[in-house]
Amino acid sequence: MEWFESWFDTPYYHLLYSNRDYTEAESFITKLTSELQLPQSSKIIDLACGKGRHSVFLNKLGYDVLGLDLSRKSIEHNKQFENQTLIFNVHDMRNPIDYDPVDAVFNLFTSFGYFDNEEDDKKVFKSVSNILKKDGYFVLDYLNEEFVRKNLVPENVITRGEIDFKITKKIEGRHIVKDIQFEADGKSHHYFEKVKLHTLETIKSYAEESGFERIKIWGDYQLNDFDKEVSPRCINLFRKK
Protein backbone atom coordinates (compact mmCIF):
# COMPACT_ATOMS: atom_id res chain seq x y z
CA MET A 1 0.00 0.00 0.00
CA GLU A 2 1.27 3.47 -0.93
CA TRP A 3 1.75 6.03 1.87
CA PHE A 4 -1.15 8.18 0.65
CA GLU A 5 -3.55 5.22 0.57
CA SER A 6 -3.10 4.52 4.30
CA TRP A 7 -2.48 8.03 5.72
CA PHE A 8 -5.34 9.86 3.93
CA ASP A 9 -7.87 7.30 5.18
CA THR A 10 -7.08 7.89 8.87
CA PRO A 11 -8.98 10.36 11.09
CA TYR A 12 -5.59 11.71 12.23
CA TYR A 13 -4.80 13.08 8.78
CA HIS A 14 -7.96 15.17 8.82
CA LEU A 15 -7.31 16.24 12.42
CA LEU A 16 -3.77 17.41 11.64
CA TYR A 17 -5.01 19.61 8.80
CA SER A 18 -8.25 20.70 10.44
CA ASN A 19 -7.02 24.31 10.69
CA ARG A 20 -7.13 24.84 6.92
CA ASP A 21 -8.64 28.20 6.14
CA TYR A 22 -12.06 27.69 4.53
CA THR A 23 -12.51 31.43 3.98
CA GLU A 24 -9.24 31.65 2.04
CA ALA A 25 -10.13 28.54 0.06
CA GLU A 26 -13.56 29.88 -0.90
CA SER A 27 -12.09 33.26 -1.81
CA PHE A 28 -9.53 31.48 -4.01
CA ILE A 29 -12.21 29.39 -5.75
CA THR A 30 -14.37 32.48 -6.33
CA LYS A 31 -11.44 34.41 -7.83
CA LEU A 32 -10.38 31.42 -9.92
CA THR A 33 -13.79 30.73 -11.50
CA SER A 34 -14.22 34.46 -12.16
CA GLU A 35 -10.79 34.65 -13.79
CA LEU A 36 -11.59 31.66 -16.02
CA GLN A 37 -15.01 33.18 -16.81
CA LEU A 38 -16.65 29.81 -16.34
CA PRO A 39 -20.38 30.28 -16.82
CA GLN A 40 -22.79 28.73 -14.33
CA SER A 41 -23.71 25.12 -15.07
CA SER A 42 -20.21 24.44 -16.44
CA LYS A 43 -19.05 20.92 -15.65
CA ILE A 44 -16.04 20.77 -13.29
CA ILE A 45 -14.11 17.83 -11.87
CA ASP A 46 -12.49 18.34 -8.46
CA LEU A 47 -9.68 15.79 -8.77
CA ALA A 48 -8.39 14.55 -5.39
CA CYS A 49 -11.29 16.29 -3.65
CA GLY A 50 -10.58 14.99 -0.11
CA LYS A 51 -13.54 15.72 2.16
CA GLY A 52 -15.19 17.75 -0.55
CA ARG A 53 -15.03 21.32 0.74
CA HIS A 54 -14.08 22.75 -2.67
CA SER A 55 -16.57 20.56 -4.53
CA VAL A 56 -19.41 21.68 -2.26
CA PHE A 57 -18.49 25.34 -2.64
CA LEU A 58 -18.15 25.07 -6.43
CA ASN A 59 -21.60 23.51 -6.51
CA LYS A 60 -22.99 26.40 -4.41
CA LEU A 61 -21.58 28.77 -7.03
CA GLY A 62 -23.77 27.06 -9.61
CA TYR A 63 -21.43 24.50 -11.17
CA ASP A 64 -22.10 20.88 -12.03
CA VAL A 65 -19.39 19.09 -10.02
CA LEU A 66 -17.86 15.62 -9.87
CA GLY A 67 -15.58 15.11 -6.87
CA LEU A 68 -13.06 12.27 -7.18
CA ASP A 69 -10.69 10.90 -4.55
CA LEU A 70 -8.79 7.70 -3.80
CA SER A 71 -9.85 7.71 -0.13
CA ARG A 72 -12.97 5.60 0.31
CA LYS A 73 -13.61 7.07 3.76
CA SER A 74 -13.52 10.62 2.38
CA ILE A 75 -15.93 9.73 -0.42
CA GLU A 76 -18.28 7.96 2.05
CA HIS A 77 -18.23 11.17 4.13
CA ASN A 78 -18.94 13.30 1.04
CA LYS A 79 -21.97 11.31 -0.07
CA GLN A 80 -24.11 13.30 2.39
CA PHE A 81 -23.60 16.43 0.24
CA GLU A 82 -24.67 14.90 -3.07
CA ASN A 83 -27.48 16.31 -5.19
CA GLN A 84 -28.42 16.31 -8.88
CA THR A 85 -25.42 18.47 -9.78
CA LEU A 86 -22.89 17.23 -7.20
CA ILE A 87 -21.57 13.66 -7.27
CA PHE A 88 -18.65 11.96 -5.48
CA ASN A 89 -16.83 8.80 -6.55
CA VAL A 90 -13.73 6.84 -5.52
CA HIS A 91 -11.09 7.23 -8.22
CA ASP A 92 -7.32 6.88 -8.71
CA MET A 93 -6.19 9.98 -10.62
CA ARG A 94 -3.83 7.86 -12.75
CA ASN A 95 -6.77 6.04 -14.32
CA PRO A 96 -9.10 7.20 -17.13
CA ILE A 97 -12.21 9.03 -15.92
CA ASP A 98 -15.50 7.51 -17.03
CA TYR A 99 -17.68 10.62 -17.38
CA ASP A 100 -19.02 13.06 -19.95
CA PRO A 101 -16.48 15.66 -21.20
CA VAL A 102 -16.07 18.58 -18.81
CA ASP A 103 -15.18 22.28 -19.02
CA ALA A 104 -12.52 22.27 -16.30
CA VAL A 105 -10.53 20.01 -13.99
CA PHE A 106 -9.16 21.39 -10.72
CA ASN A 107 -6.38 19.66 -8.79
CA LEU A 108 -5.95 21.81 -5.69
CA PHE A 109 -3.75 22.20 -2.61
CA THR A 110 -0.79 19.99 -3.65
CA SER A 111 -2.70 16.87 -4.62
CA PHE A 112 -0.10 15.85 -7.20
CA GLY A 113 3.49 14.61 -7.08
CA TYR A 114 2.82 11.61 -4.83
CA PHE A 115 4.09 8.97 -7.24
CA ASP A 116 7.65 7.69 -7.51
CA ASN A 117 7.25 6.67 -11.15
CA GLU A 118 7.33 9.51 -13.67
CA GLU A 119 4.96 7.56 -15.92
CA ASP A 120 2.31 7.77 -13.20
CA ASP A 121 2.62 11.57 -13.19
CA LYS A 122 2.16 11.59 -16.95
CA LYS A 123 -0.91 9.35 -16.65
CA VAL A 124 -2.59 12.05 -14.55
CA PHE A 125 -2.13 14.64 -17.30
CA LYS A 126 -3.33 12.17 -19.94
CA SER A 127 -6.42 11.28 -17.92
CA VAL A 128 -7.27 14.96 -17.44
CA SER A 129 -6.69 15.76 -21.09
CA ASN A 130 -8.95 12.93 -22.22
CA ILE A 131 -11.90 14.08 -20.10
CA LEU A 132 -11.66 17.78 -21.02
CA LYS A 133 -13.51 19.46 -23.85
CA LYS A 134 -11.36 21.30 -26.41
CA ASP A 135 -10.22 24.61 -24.87
CA GLY A 136 -11.11 23.21 -21.42
CA TYR A 137 -9.04 24.31 -18.43
CA PHE A 138 -6.80 22.28 -16.13
CA VAL A 139 -5.76 24.05 -12.91
CA LEU A 140 -2.84 22.39 -11.13
CA ASP A 141 -2.26 24.07 -7.78
CA TYR A 142 1.21 22.99 -6.73
CA LEU A 143 4.02 23.96 -4.39
CA ASN A 144 6.81 26.26 -5.60
CA GLU A 145 9.97 24.18 -5.53
CA GLU A 146 12.30 27.16 -4.97
CA PHE A 147 10.18 28.52 -2.10
CA VAL A 148 10.03 25.09 -0.41
CA ARG A 149 13.80 24.67 -0.55
CA LYS A 150 14.46 28.12 0.92
CA ASN A 151 11.80 28.04 3.64
CA LEU A 152 11.95 24.48 4.92
CA VAL A 153 11.33 24.20 8.69
CA PRO A 154 13.14 20.98 9.72
CA GLU A 155 11.20 20.31 12.94
CA ASN A 156 8.05 21.49 14.67
CA VAL A 157 5.21 20.25 16.88
CA ILE A 158 1.56 20.84 15.97
CA THR A 159 -1.03 20.30 18.71
CA ARG A 160 -4.59 19.38 17.79
CA GLY A 161 -6.81 18.66 20.79
CA GLU A 162 -4.95 16.15 22.98
CA ILE A 163 -2.51 15.07 20.26
CA ASP A 164 0.97 16.50 19.68
CA PHE A 165 2.05 15.79 16.11
CA LYS A 166 5.86 15.78 15.91
CA ILE A 167 6.79 16.82 12.37
CA THR A 168 10.20 16.60 10.76
CA LYS A 169 10.85 17.64 7.16
CA LYS A 170 13.77 17.00 4.88
CA ILE A 171 14.60 17.01 1.20
CA GLU A 172 15.73 13.69 -0.21
CA GLY A 173 16.78 13.93 -3.83
CA ARG A 174 13.76 15.21 -5.78
CA HIS A 175 11.31 14.77 -2.89
CA ILE A 176 10.27 16.65 0.20
CA VAL A 177 9.54 14.12 2.95
CA LYS A 178 7.43 14.96 6.00
CA ASP A 179 7.73 12.47 8.88
CA ILE A 180 4.76 12.49 11.29
CA GLN A 181 4.85 10.81 14.72
CA PHE A 182 2.33 11.03 17.56
CA GLU A 183 0.67 9.18 20.43
CA ALA A 184 -3.09 8.60 20.22
CA ASP A 185 -5.60 6.10 21.56
CA GLY A 186 -2.91 4.44 23.66
CA LYS A 187 -0.66 3.74 20.67
CA SER A 188 2.34 5.21 18.91
CA HIS A 189 1.65 6.22 15.32
CA HIS A 190 4.08 6.89 12.51
CA TYR A 191 3.19 8.16 9.03
CA PHE A 192 4.94 10.13 6.34
CA GLU A 193 4.14 12.27 3.32
CA LYS A 194 6.34 12.36 0.25
CA VAL A 195 5.88 14.88 -2.55
CA LYS A 196 8.03 15.29 -5.62
CA LEU A 197 9.65 18.69 -6.09
CA HIS A 198 8.70 19.09 -9.74
CA THR A 199 10.26 22.01 -11.57
CA LEU A 200 8.23 24.40 -13.71
CA GLU A 201 9.92 22.93 -16.77
CA THR A 202 9.00 19.35 -15.88
CA ILE A 203 5.36 20.20 -15.28
CA LYS A 204 5.25 22.10 -18.56
CA SER A 205 6.73 19.16 -20.45
CA TYR A 206 4.17 16.72 -18.99
CA ALA A 207 1.39 19.11 -19.95
CA GLU A 208 2.58 19.68 -23.51
CA GLU A 209 3.01 15.94 -24.03
CA SER A 210 -0.71 15.53 -23.22
CA GLY A 211 -1.91 18.32 -25.50
CA PHE A 212 -2.00 21.30 -23.13
CA GLU A 213 -0.57 24.78 -23.33
CA ARG A 214 0.29 26.67 -20.14
CA ILE A 215 -1.29 30.09 -20.32
CA LYS A 216 -0.77 31.44 -16.80
CA ILE A 217 1.01 30.85 -13.47
CA TRP A 218 -0.20 32.43 -10.25
CA GLY A 219 1.95 32.58 -7.13
CA ASP A 220 -0.63 32.51 -4.33
CA TYR A 221 -4.31 32.11 -3.52
CA GLN A 222 -4.95 35.81 -4.17
CA LEU A 223 -3.93 35.09 -7.79
CA ASN A 224 -0.92 37.37 -7.77
CA ASP A 225 1.64 36.79 -10.51
CA PHE A 226 4.15 34.02 -9.93
CA ASP A 227 7.63 34.95 -8.72
CA LYS A 228 10.01 32.00 -8.53
CA GLU A 229 11.89 33.51 -5.57
CA VAL A 230 9.06 34.48 -3.23
CA SER A 231 5.75 32.91 -4.32
CA PRO A 232 4.54 30.21 -1.90
CA ARG A 233 2.45 28.48 -4.58
CA CYS A 234 2.79 27.55 -8.23
CA ILE A 235 -0.77 27.55 -9.59
CA ASN A 236 -0.61 26.43 -13.21
CA LEU A 237 -3.39 27.19 -15.67
CA PHE A 238 -3.41 24.94 -18.72
CA ARG A 239 -5.74 24.94 -21.70
CA LYS A 240 -6.40 21.88 -23.82
CA LYS A 241 -5.48 22.54 -27.43
- List pLDDT tens digits, range 138-189: 999 999 999 999 999 999 999 999 999 999 999 998 899 999 999 999 999 9
The pLDDT of residue 223: 97
A 10 A CB-CB count for 20 gives 11
DSSP string, 130-198: HHEEEEEEEEEEEE-HHHHHHS---EEEEEETTEEEEEEEEEETTEEEEEEEEEETTEEEEEEEEEE--
pTM for the structure as a whole? 0.92
For the cut 90, the answer to whether the pLDDT of residue 24 exceeds it is: no
Q: Helical H runs in 37-71?
A: 53-60
User: Quick one: average pLDDT of 210-220?
Assistant: 98
Average pLDDT, the chain: 94
The pLDDT of residue 181: 97
How far apart are alpha carbons 152 and 157 in whole angstroms? 14
- List pLDDT tens digits, range 76-113: 999 999 999 999 999 999 999 999 999 999 999 888 98
User: Quick one: average pLDDT of 59-64?
Assistant: 97
The pLDDT of residue 155: 96
% residues pLDDT > 70 (the chain):
100
For the cut 80, the answer to whether the pLDDT of residue 19 exceeds it is: no
Strands 212-218 and 163-172: unpaired
